């Protein structure tokens, strides 16, 4: 009998959009684990298995992401984040404003972030970005 052991080289935190929960990423996380990543999935407040009944606002979501990064960094392996959808702009502004956070890389998937013109961003996200970047 041979056992296949995968050497874990890095941590990756997966952060779902506001219209999802962590279970939407189980298959991705499983495949990443098979390829040397220790995956950390969280349910944002008010989603999936979270204990919160109401969704958190932008600052609460950023607090949760900060705690995730701090937990992932405890084993001294490189930490990466994958953010999806509307939460990507919160991940992005969190990292811009907090250079001390232990992150080695970032992948954000969002149509909001690829917009080249401010007028294409919804007023909601425009307001979040303006408040968080100042």
92-113 pLDDT, tens digit each? 889 988 989 999 988 888 765 5
Cβ atoms of 133 and 121 closer than 8 Å: no
pTM beyond 0.85: the answer is no
Q: What are phi and psi of 38, to 5 degrees?
A: -90, 110
**pLDDT < 70: residue spans in the chain:** 1-4, 46-55, 111-134
Q: What are phi and psi of 100, to 5 degrees?
A: -80, -15
What is the pLDDT, as a whole number, of residue 122?
43
Distance from C-alpha of 106 to C-alpha of 93, rounded to nearest angstrom: 12
What is the Cβ-side half-sphere exposure of residue 50, based on CA atoms within 13 angstroms?
20
Count how many residues are written for the chain: 134
In the block, residue with structure tokens 């996380």: 29
What is the pLDDT, as a whole number, of residue 83?
87
Question: Could you give the 3-state DSSP secondary structure of residue 44?
Answer: coil
């Amino acid at each position: 009998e041979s056992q296949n052991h995968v050497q874990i080289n890095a941590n990756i935190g997966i952060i779902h959009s506001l219209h999802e929960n962590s279970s939407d990423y189980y298959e991705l996380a499983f495949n990443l684990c098979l390829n040397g990543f220790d995956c950390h999935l969280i349910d944002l407040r008010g989603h999936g298995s979270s204990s919160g009944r109401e969704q958190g606002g932008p600052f609460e979501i950023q607090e949760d992401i900060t705690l995730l990064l701090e937990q992932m960094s405890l084993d001294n392996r490189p930490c990466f984040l994958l953010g999806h959808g509307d939460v990507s702009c919160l991940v992005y502004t969190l990292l811009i404003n907090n250079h001390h956070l232990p992150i080695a890389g970032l992948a954000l998937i969002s149509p909001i972030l690829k917009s080249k013109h401010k007028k294409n961003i919804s007023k909601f996200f425009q307001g979040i970005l303006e408040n968080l970047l100042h």
